[in-house]
């Protein structure tokens, strides 16, 4: 029986729409997964060196143990956002001669085959068998790694329970994410010390091996809680893919946009699209974190050329990551949009204002942080924000027109390259290359003053001329309209 | 209302639609029948400027649909689920269309009241997204959405399919009322010969993209169609 079910899930993976769009996408997906594994392993191997470089005068084991608190918090956050609901594809089996408990155990055990558990091992095994074994012996090395694995397993089952309870819709990721960032800031700015929690915990674990039973027992308890929950909810209407109640909170706020004419209506539609779909929402949330992270990287980096590559992303990550698939997000109802009573220019204007708002909100957030830390960096980010809005918005809107592919907005988030094509990937390159080239060459040939003046003027000019820019893009769109529609109907 | 000149749509070498001349006068209810693959949906998509014709053109109110957007202001259409926005509630979907058609909230409410029986208390106020509703209810939402703003031209592909018998009968009455009160020009395709002959005053039969019958005398149309398709 188990082998049959496993064959089914194997087939559903290989024959899925997401994967079978093209061979290139399949290869790319595997490539990215392999790369991620390789990165995790590489980072794991480098870990002792990295730690000794950051804090050379401290014991690297206790430093790593201390940081674990943040690792676990981030793991929890990523799991909440990305972990797939285990009961996702079992509706076919409900009417078959398979017992509910069997299904529940099958789904839960199968869920162990996931990237998070693997990454934990890849990331920490080198450290465990290198540094820990070196100081404490082989048994303690296994113990240390085993404890981390058990905690990961505990988080795994905790998130399954959370998903079942919240039905996947809550503000938890945002709240948790904000808390983590705050805690990390408080910790690393020196106002408080959270690292002593895991530092102490792991020190105790290394002395008392039996403590490893705590996360194991918690995992077992949660496992049985999860399985009981699943068995009790093996009905079509309690499966995750089924009926959900429409949310009110954010929606009522969004509906205010409706009073701003057709453009406002189109923006409200797009915001609802982002908020209510499984694939689009995490992209926005993750991109916001990415912007804050890039900011951190910008502050710590001193190399001018490297800084330049990330300048646009500091206020443009949300715009780029979402905008890459601009028209594809709406592929499922594009026919409808094209028969409705508004002009292409109006439609594109709504996209422009949306991206403009994304970037401006990012600038405000980034600015609030930078104003206390590094004002010269703030000027640089602000200058590139102008270029974002005055140049790159048009590049995104125009670029995504070339070959958009259909996608399922409610599809999975992780390693889902549905809708991605060569053009979508190429679109990102100018965002990294142009600031680099401009900053280096203009600085060299013209000097800093003229570089800043040139960039500011270009950006402002692009923003001021948005009407004629969008009119031109609208012409291009009208020419490509049938091709886009044909592509979406495939 | 609609004029078609030398319209042709080829997919590779396969001919999907080929119509030399056709004129659909204002206020006419025009029924399109034909077996699967006859080109009904393709013709509707050509009329709505969703696909590019290989040759020829479609004019709505004497303006080519491919070049001008004016027709969108007075045309309502529902072809398939790609006209629905799955992550909206029905109310939000109707509000969206009403906003685009410049229909006020009050007018929209009184408009929707007319469909209370048709909706059978399964559509409005359910706090459910359209993607989570049954095929039948989705169809109802699309059909009613197409009628918002009293369009002068209504294009519906297979409006009776997927509806339960009572809803089919109610829909027939709704379409007849619409013709009566608003003098709406209607383009309706259907596999159900009974319904389409009751609603439409002119029936056109398509076969492999060609018009093979164009019947305006409805006295004996059903028997004629049954003889043709038998």
| CA–CA–CA angle B37, B40, B43 (5° rounding) | 120
Contact B51 A482 (CB under 8 A): yes
- The phi-psi region of residue B164 (left if phi > 0; otherwise alpha if psi is between -120 and 50; otherwise beta) is beta
Burial class (CB in 10 A: 0-12, 13-18, 19+), B146: buried
The shortest CB-CB distance from B48 to any of A255, A339, A410 is to A339
Contact A340 B69 (CB under 8 A): no
Q: Write the CA distances from A473 to A16, A88, A201, A328, A400, integer angstroms.
A: 35, 41, 59, 17, 11
The pair of three-digit structure tokens given for residue B193, joined into one six-digit string: 């010969």
Instruction: Give the C-alpha separation, A386 to A374, whole Å.
Output: 19
pLDDT at residue A378 in the model? 87
pLDDT at residue A247 in the model? 58
Task: Write out the H or E segment, with its range, that includes residue A35.
Answer: helix A23-54
Instruction: Give the C-alpha separation, A369 to A373, whole Å.
Output: 7
pLDDT at residue A350 in the model? 94
Contact A341 B73 (CB under 8 A): yes
Our CA-based measurement puts residue A481 at a distance from the nearest CA of chain B, in whole angstroms, of 8
Beta bridge mates, B75: B153
Burial class (CB in 10 A: 0-12, 13-18, 19+), A79: buried
Q: Write the CA distances from B133 to A280, B111, B123, B136, integer angstroms.
A: 22, 22, 8, 8
Please list every residue in chain B whose beta carbon sits closer than 8 Å to the beta carbon of residue A343.
69
CB atoms within 10 A of CB A18: 18
Q: Write the CA distances from A69 to A72, A76, A77, A353, B6, integer angstroms.
A: 5, 11, 13, 40, 72
Interface test with A, best of B12, B45, B66, B82 (most A CBs within 10 A): B82
Our CA-based measurement puts residue B13 at a distance from the nearest CA of chain A, in whole angstroms, of 17
Those residues whose C-beta lies under 8 Å from the C-beta of residue A97, and which sit 6 or more positions away, are: none
Instruction: Give the C-alpha separation, A311 to A386, whole Å.
Output: 11
Q: Residue B82 — φ and ψ, nearest 5°? A: -75, 5
Our CA-based measurement puts residue A397 at a distance from the nearest CA of chain B, in whole angstroms, of 21
The pair of three-digit structure tokens given for residue A360, joined into one six-digit string: 């401006």
Contact A343 B132 (CB under 8 A): no
Contact B82 A332 (CB under 8 A): yes
Nearest CA-CA partner of A180 in A73, A102, A88 = A73
Residue B10, classed as helix, strand or coil, is strand
Residue pair A320/A284 in contact (Cβ under 8 Å)? The answer is no
Contact B86 A242 (CB under 8 A): no
Contact B87 A338 (CB under 8 A): no
Instruction: Give the C-alpha separation, A269 to A421, whole Å.
Output: 25
CA A453 to chain centre: 35
Chain B contact residues (CB < 8 Å to A): 48-52, 69, 72-73, 75, 77, 79-89, 92, 95-97, 99-101, 127-129, 131-132
Residue A424, classed as helix, strand or coil, is helix
- Burial code of B102-111, b = ≥16 C-beta within 10 A, e = fewer? ebeeeebeeb
Contact A335 B73 (CB under 8 A): no
The pair of three-digit structure tokens given for residue A291, joined into one six-digit string: 């912007």
CA A223 to chain centre: 27
Contact A485 B89 (CB under 8 A): no
Looking at chain A, the number of H-run helices and the number of E-run strands are: 23, 0
Contact A342 B72 (CB under 8 A): yes
Segments of chain B with pLDDT less than 50:
none
Please list every residue in chain A whose beta carbon sits closer than 8 Å to the beta carbon of residue B49.
338-339
The pair of three-digit structure tokens given for residue A301, joined into one six-digit string: 């980096």
Residue pair B30/B204 in contact (Cβ under 8 Å)? The answer is yes
Please list every residue in chain B whose beta carbon sits closer than 8 Å to the beta carbon of residue A485.
50-51
The pair of three-digit structure tokens given for residue A187, joined into one six-digit string: 């910790």
Nearest CA-CA partner of A84 in A318, A331, A303, A278 = A278
- DSSP 8-state code for residue B128: B
* Domains identified in chain B and CATH numbers: 2-229 (3.40.50.300)
Interface test with B, best of A340, A482, A483 (most B CBs within 10 A): A340
Residue pair B129/A276 in contact (Cβ under 8 Å)? The answer is yes
Chain A contact residues (CB < 8 Å to B): 242-246, 251, 255, 258, 262, 265, 269, 272-273, 276-277, 332-336, 338-343, 409-410, 482, 485-486, 488-489
Instruction: Give the C-alpha separation, B163 to B177, whole Å.
Output: 19
Segments of chain A with pLDDT less than 70:
13-26, 87-89, 167-170, 236-251, 302-306, 444, 490
Q: Write the CA distances from B162 to B83, B168, B171, integer angstroms.
A: 16, 9, 12
Tens digits of per-residue pLDDT, A105-133? Answer: 888 888 888 888 888 999 999 999 988 88
Residue B6, classed as helix, strand or coil, is strand
The pair of three-digit structure tokens given for residue A421, joined into one six-digit string: 């094509």
Our CA-based measurement puts residue B208 at a distance from the nearest CA of chain A, in whole angstroms, of 21
Tokens 């190399």 locate to A303
Our CA-based measurement puts residue A44 at a distance from the nearest CA of chain B, in whole angstroms, of 42
Tokens 């409610």 locate to A410
Contact A258 B97 (CB under 8 A): no
Residue A419, classed as helix, strand or coil, is coil
Contact A409 B132 (CB under 8 A): no
Q: Give domain limits for chain A.
A: 2-238, 249-489
The shortest CB-CB distance from B128 to any of A243, A335, A489 is to A243
pLDDT at residue A243 in the model? 42
Beta bridge mates, B63: B60
Please list every residue in chain A whose beta carbon sits closer than 8 Å to the beta carbon of residue B122.
none
pLDDT at residue B44 in the model? 93
Name the percent of chain A in helix, strand, coil, to the closest 5: 80, 0, 20
pLDDT at residue A35 in the model? 83
Residue B30, classed as helix, strand or coil, is strand
Q: Where are the alpha helices (DSSP H) in A208-279?
A: 213-232, 249-255, 261-276
- DSSP 8-state code for residue B212: E
CA atoms within 13 A on the CB side of A81: 22
Please list every residue in chain A whose beta carbon sits closer than 8 Å to the beta carbon of residue B100.
262, 265, 340-342
Q: Where are the alpha helices (DSSP H) in A277-343?
A: 280-300, 304-323, 334-339
Instruction: Give the C-alpha separation, A278 to A283, whole Å.
Output: 9
Instruction: Give the C-alpha separation, B155 to A287, whole Å.
Output: 42
Residue pair A472/A337 in contact (Cβ under 8 Å)? The answer is no
Instruction: Give the C-alpha separation, A404 to A419, whole Å.
Output: 7
The pair of three-digit structure tokens given for residue A165, joined into one six-digit string: 């309870």
Beta bridge mates, B187: B30, B155
The pair of three-digit structure tokens given for residue A2, joined into one six-digit string: 């188990």
Tens digits of per-residue pLDDT, A74-95? Answer: 899 888 877 777 766 677 777 7
Contact A485 B51 (CB under 8 A): yes
Contact B82 A342 (CB under 8 A): no
Residue A475, classed as helix, strand or coil, is helix
Looking at chain B, the number of H-run helices and the number of E-run strands are: 8, 10
Please give the full DSSP string across A170-193, using - where no structure is assigned. SSHHHHHHHHHHHHHHHHHTTS--
pLDDT at residue A242 in the model? 43
Counting one residue from chain A and one from chain B, the pairs whose CB atoms sit within 8 A come to 83
Task: Write out the H or E segment, with its range, that includes residue B58.
Answer: strand B55-60
CB atoms within 10 A of CB A117: 16
Our CA-based measurement puts residue A48 at a distance from the nearest CA of chain B, in whole angstroms, of 48
- DSSP 8-state code for residue A245: B
The pair of three-digit structure tokens given for residue B95, joined into one six-digit string: 């509000």
């Amino acid at each position: 029986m188990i082998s049959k079910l496993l064959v089914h899930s194997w087939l559903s993976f290989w024959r899925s729409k997401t994967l079978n769009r093209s061979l290139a996408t399949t290869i790319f997906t595997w490539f990215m997964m392999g790369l991620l594994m390789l990165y995790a392993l590489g980072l794991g191997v480098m870990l002792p060196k990295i730690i000794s470089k950051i804090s050379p005068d401290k014991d690297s084991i206790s430093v790593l143990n201390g940081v674990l608190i943040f690792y676990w918090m981030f793991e929890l956050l990523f799991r909440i956002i990305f972990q797939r609901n285990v009961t996702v594809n079992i509706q076919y089996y409900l009417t078959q001669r398979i017992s509910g408990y069997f299904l529940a155990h099958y789904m839960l055990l199968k869920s162990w085959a996931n990237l998070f558990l693997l990454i934990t091992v890849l990331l920490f095994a080198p450290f465990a068998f290198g540094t820990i074994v070196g100081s404490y012996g082989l048994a303690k090395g296994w113990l240390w790694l085993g404890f981390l694995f058990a905690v990961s397993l505990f988080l795994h089952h905790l998130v399954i329970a959370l998903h079942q309870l919240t039905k996947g819709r809550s503000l938890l990721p945002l709240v948790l994410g904000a808390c983590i960032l705050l805690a990390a800031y408080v910790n690393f700015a020196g106002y408080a010390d959270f690292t002593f929690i895991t530092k102490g915990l792991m020190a105790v674990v290394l002395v008392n091996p039996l403590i490893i039973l705590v996360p194991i027992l918690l995992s077992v308890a949660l496992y049985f809680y999860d399985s009981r929950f699943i068995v009790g909810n093996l009905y079509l209407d309690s499966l995750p893919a089924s009926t959900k109640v429409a949310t009110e909170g954010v929606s009522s706020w969004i509906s205010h946009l409706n009073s701003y004419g057709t453009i406002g209506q189109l923006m409200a539609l797009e915001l609802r699209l982002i908020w209510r779909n499984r694939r689009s929402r995490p992209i926005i949330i993750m991109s916001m974190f990415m912007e804050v992270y890039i900011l951190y990287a910008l502050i710590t980096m001193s190399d001018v050329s490297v800084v330049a590559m990330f300048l646009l992303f500091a206020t443009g990550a949300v715009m780029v990551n979402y905008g890459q698939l601009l028209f594809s997000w709406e592929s499922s109802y594009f026919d409808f949009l094209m028969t409705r009573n508004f002009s292409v220019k109006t439609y594109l204007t709504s996209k422009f204002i949306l991206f403009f708002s994304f970037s401006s909100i990012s600038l405000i957030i980034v600015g609030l942080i930078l104003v206390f830390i590094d004002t010269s960096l703030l000027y640089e980010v602000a200058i590139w924000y102008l270029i974002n809005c005055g140049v790159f918005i048009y590049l995104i809107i125009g670029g995504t027109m070339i070959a958009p592919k259909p996608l399922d907005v409610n599809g999975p988030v992780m390693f889902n390259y549905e809708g991605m094509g060569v053009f979508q990937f190429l679109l990102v390159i100018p965002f990294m290359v142009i600031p680099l080239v401009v900053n280096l060459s203009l600085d060299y040939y013209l000097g800093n003053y003229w570089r800043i003046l040139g960039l500011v003027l270009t950006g402002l000019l692009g923003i001021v001329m948005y009407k004629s820019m969008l009119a031109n893009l609208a012409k291009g769109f009208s020419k490509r309209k049938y091709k886009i529609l044909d592509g979406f109907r495939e | 209302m609609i004029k078609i000149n030398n319209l042709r749509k080829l997919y590779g070498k396969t001919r999907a639609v080929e119509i030399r001349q056709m004129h659909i006068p204002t206020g006419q209810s025009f029924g399109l029948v034909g077996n699967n693959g006859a080109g009904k949906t393709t013709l509707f998509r050509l009329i709505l400027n969703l696909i590019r014709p290989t040759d020829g053109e479609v004019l709505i109110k004497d303006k080519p649909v491919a070049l001008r957007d004016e027709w969108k202001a007075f045309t309502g259409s529902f072809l398939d689920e790609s006209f629905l926005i799955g992550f909206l509630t029905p109310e939000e979907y109707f509000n969206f269309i009403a906003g685009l058609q410049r229909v006020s909230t009050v007018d929209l409410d009184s408009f929707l009241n007319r469909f209370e029986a048709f909706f059978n208390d399964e559509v409005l106020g359910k706090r459910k997204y359209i993607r989570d509703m049954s095929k039948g209810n989705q169809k109802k939402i699309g059909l009613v959405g197409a009628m918002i703003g009293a369009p002068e031209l209504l294009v519906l592909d297979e409006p009776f399919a997927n509806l339960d018998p009572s809803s089919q009968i109610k829909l027939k009455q709704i379409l007849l009322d619409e013709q009566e009160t608003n003098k709406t020009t209607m383009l309706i395709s259907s596999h159900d010969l009974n319904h389409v002959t009751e609603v439409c005053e002119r029936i056109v039969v398509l076969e492999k993209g060609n018009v093979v019958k164009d019947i305006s005398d409805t006295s004996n149309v059903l028997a004629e169609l049954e003889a043709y398709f038998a």
